[in-house]
């Protein structure tokens, strides 16, 4: 299914198809067919009735637009769907129609359908996550020794390596996926509780039917129905928010590195990608833009879901009814962010020469900390810090290298040799344990 124009910057084609009307409708019919099969296995309804229900659910013609329209009057999509299914079954077998939706309640259908869609979305997100992780690992390894400016509060700072920066993104992406994967595993459970969550209409066979239904749908069976307890889904939504926030951080970094005055990285180029309607020279950070847009939408969506958790007694009025569009947007935003950053990482171009040139452009003032630490052992940290403040101010005002200024200061040359000053602004010599940190992040498989 093509992406709707209004959602063209908010989802991917596979996710748009998964959350389409047709997909949701198929999942609802899948629930009803699976319920009939499970109950027939347990001899609660006739096999013949189950066969008719399954056949009609599979082959019958249903109108998603009619179900959607009638949902506004019914308050749940299950009621018009079950009514339409029952009528079609009745036209095929009057007796079988008695057993449609046997023992279930509307929310059982709605919640389980949502879980089925989430289960399928997990596979899509996981595939793109694997691409992203592999690409980031490769970038980090290839640029383990590529020096670049560190930047704190958007200002030049002592050097780092691009390999470490990419490893930092990788670590956050892995941690985010670990939380998300755990939340998926806990949330992908059947909903089947009947009218009040006791399955009283099925007598003492309720748990047996629930287990059989879970088997049919490939879903775990919970300790009890969770109609008004939304904590598992809330954990999933929150995990999506955190994961997307980490992807947004990566996107922000890359988009800043792509600024022409920085020029240290660029997204992959392709026909129709990243251009401008008026400026032919533009190469815009499209993947980063999509990811940042998703990250900016996410906090409000997470907050909406959390506010809907406070649900009344055994069935909420307005709480779970708010969830479908929220969860749909959350999953699609997360999936878009993962897919976008996977594409960016796989084709990201790094300019090591520009990175080094940007270090050189600071005239060595980013090594003021190094000079101060070398002096501190002889004259004390406070005195050394004051001297370097004076030296860096002169360096900036006179547009001169910091080392040249330091060579003119007797307070410095009494303690630092000419050789030490010559090596002062070599970035490879002031990386600390950057490579050890990088390796720890890349090798950690959490």
Burial environment of residue 58 by CB neighbours within 10 A (0 to 12, 13 to 18, 19 or more): exposed
Please indicate whether residue 276 is annotated as part of the active site. yes
Contacts of 94 (CB under 8 A, 6+ apart): none
- CB atoms under 10 Å from CB of 382, counted, come to 10
How far apart, in whole angstroms, are the C-alpha atoms of residue 250 and residue 298? 16
Q: Which of 276, 377, 378, 418 is catalytic?
A: 276
Measured CA angle at 430 (ends 427, 433), to 5 deg: 125
How far apart, in whole angstroms, are the C-alpha atoms of residue 46 and residue 24? 27
Can you read off the two tokens belonging to residue 422? 């010559």
How far apart, in whole angstroms, are the C-alpha atoms of residue 299 and residue 305? 10
How far apart, in whole angstroms, are the C-alpha atoms of residue 185 and residue 170? 22
Contacts of 238 (CB under 8 A, 6+ apart): 183, 302, 306
Contacts of 147 (CB under 8 A, 6+ apart): 159, 160, 161, 162, 352, 355, 356, 359, 427, 428, 431
Contact between 159 and 136 (Cβ < 8 Å) = no
SS3 147: strand
Contact between 145 and 356 (Cβ < 8 Å) = no
Please indicate whether residue 211 is annotated as part of the active site. no
CA nearest to 440, candidates 176, 171, 203? 171
Q: Which of 179, 211, 315, 354 is catalytic?
A: 315
Burial environment of residue 6 by CB neighbours within 10 A (0 to 12, 13 to 18, 19 or more): exposed
Q: Which residues are catalytic?
A: 276, 315
């Amino acid at each position: 299914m093509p992406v709707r124009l209004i959602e063209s910057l908010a989802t991917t084609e596979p996710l748009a198809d998964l959350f389409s009307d047709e997909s949701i409708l198929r999942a609802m019919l899948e629930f009803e067919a699976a319920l009939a099969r499970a109950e027939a296995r347990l001899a609660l309804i006739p096999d013949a009735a189950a066969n008719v229900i399954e056949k009609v659910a599979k082959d019958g013609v249903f109108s998603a637009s009619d179900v959607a329209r009638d949902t506004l009057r019914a308050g749940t999509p299950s009621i018009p769907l079950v009514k339409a299914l029952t009528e079609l079954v009745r036209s095929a077998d009057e007796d079988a129609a008695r057993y449609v939706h046997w023992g279930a309640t509307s929310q059982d259908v709605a919640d389980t359908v949502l879980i089925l869609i989430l289960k399928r979305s997990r596979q899509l997100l996981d595939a793109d996550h694997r691409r992203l992780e592999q690409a980031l690992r490769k970038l980090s390894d290839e640029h383990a020794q590529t020096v670049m400016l560190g930047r704190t509060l958007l200002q030049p700072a002592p050097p780092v390596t691009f390999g470490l920066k990419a490893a930092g993104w990788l670590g956050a992406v892995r941690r985010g996926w670990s939380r998300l994967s755990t939340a998926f595993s806990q949330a992908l459970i059947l909903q089947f509780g009947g009218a009040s969550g006791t399955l009283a209409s099925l007598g003492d066979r309720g748990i047996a039917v629930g287990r059989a239904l879970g088997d049919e749908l490939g879903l775990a069976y919970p300790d009890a129905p969770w109609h008004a307890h939304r904590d598992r889904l809330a954990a999933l939504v929150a995990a999506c928010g955190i994961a997307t926030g980490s992807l947004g951080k990566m996107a922000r970094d890359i988009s800043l590195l792509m600024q022409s005055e920085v020029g240290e990285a660029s997204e992959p180029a392709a026909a129709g990608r990243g251009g401008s309607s008026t400026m032919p020279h533009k190469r815009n950070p499209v993947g980063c833009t999509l990811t940042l847009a998703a990250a900016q939408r996410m906090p409000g969506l997470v907050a909406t879901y959390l506010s809907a958790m406070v649900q009344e007694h055994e069935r909420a009025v307005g709480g779970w009814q708010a969830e479908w569009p929220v969860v749909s947007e959350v999953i699609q935003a997360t999936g878009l962010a993962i897919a976008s950053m996977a594409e960016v990482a796989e084709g990201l171009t790094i300019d090591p020469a520009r990175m080094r040139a940007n270090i050189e452009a600071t005239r060595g003032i980013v090594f003021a900390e190094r000079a101060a630490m070398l002096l501190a052992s002889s004259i004390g940290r406070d005195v050394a810090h004051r001297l370097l403040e004076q030296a860096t101010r002169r360096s900036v005002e006179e547009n001169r290298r910091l080392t040249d200024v330091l060579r003119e200061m007797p307070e410095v040359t009494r303690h630092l040799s000419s050789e030490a000053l010559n090596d002062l602004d070599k970035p490879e010599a002031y990386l600390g344990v950057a490579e050890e940190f990088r390796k720890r992040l890349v090798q950690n498989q959490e």
